[in-house]
Amino acid sequence: MTNYFVLAGILIVIAGFALRLNPMLVVTVAAIATGLISGMDLVEVISTFGKAFNDNRIIAIVWIVLPVIGLLERFGLQQRAAAVIRGFKNATTGRLLILYLLYRQATAAVGLYSTAGHPQTVRPLVAPMALAAAEKQHGELDEDTAETVKSFSAATDNVGLFFGEDIFFAIGSIVLIQQTLATYGYELAPLQLAVWAIPTAILAFLIHGSRLLMLDRAIGKRRR
């Protein structure tokens, strides 16, 4: 029974997210609690954190980027992004997000999937710009409509990354597909899998692009 106490960290994460506490704080507390319950002292837990970040230096980049984004937001990044969109006469939420979808898929297809994402671009730039485009076309938005625009902004990033990254053959998902097919006797090169991911990516772009154009109409109907 004692062995199950180390799972208390999962309960801390669930409770913290349910109470809408700071995610970074919740995860950190859960990790420390798990280490202490498993018999490690506080110094050993912190040392383990340090070793993990040192072994995976790419994670440390997040700690550099996020404070920069935070400072930019503090000094009006979102407001400036929204102001730029308001200056474009024909800008709409759907058209803006289609351009972002194209960018996300294209960059992911050549392996640059870390150049954008929810913390780097969606929250500080894409979502405020999408909201500004909607407000420019339809006036002040109600809370439900604003949340819908935000959710489509996040979904556009997800679709672009998910269906774009498989075109880049030097990625873990391609290797996983290759090894899974190999267990059933299908020997395929990573490049072959990447090539056949292109039609799927095109369809994903067309389908989600259509949903984004329909979003423009839906926002217009809500405002009438």
Q: What is the DSSP letter of 139?
A: -
With the CA atoms of 96, 97, 99 and 101 taken in that order, what torsion angle do they form, in degrees rounded to the nearest 10?
Answer: 170
Helix segments in the chain, DSSP class H: 8-18, 23-37, 42-55, 57-74, 77-86, 93-109, 127-138, 143-165, 172-182, 190-222
Position 78 pLDDT exceeds 80:
no
The pLDDT assigned to 60 comes to 54
Portion of the chain with pLDDT greater than 70, in percent? 85
Encoding tokens for residue 47?
Answer: 């040392």
pLDDT digits over 141-173, tens only? 888 999 999 999 999 999 999 999 888 877 777
The pLDDT assigned to 150 comes to 94
Domain range annotation of the chain? 2-55, 66-222
The pLDDT assigned to 172 comes to 74
Contact yes or no for 104/160 (Cβ under 8 A) = yes
Contact yes or no for 122/196 (Cβ under 8 A) = no
The pLDDT assigned to 73 comes to 65
Position 3 pLDDT exceeds 70:
no
Q: Looking at the whole model, is its pTM more than 0.75?
A: no
State the first-to-last Cα distance of the chain, in angstroms, to the nearest integer: 60
The pLDDT assigned to 64 comes to 64
pLDDT digits over 178-216, tens only? 888 888 888 888 888 888 889 999 999 999 999 999 998
Position 56 pLDDT exceeds 60:
no
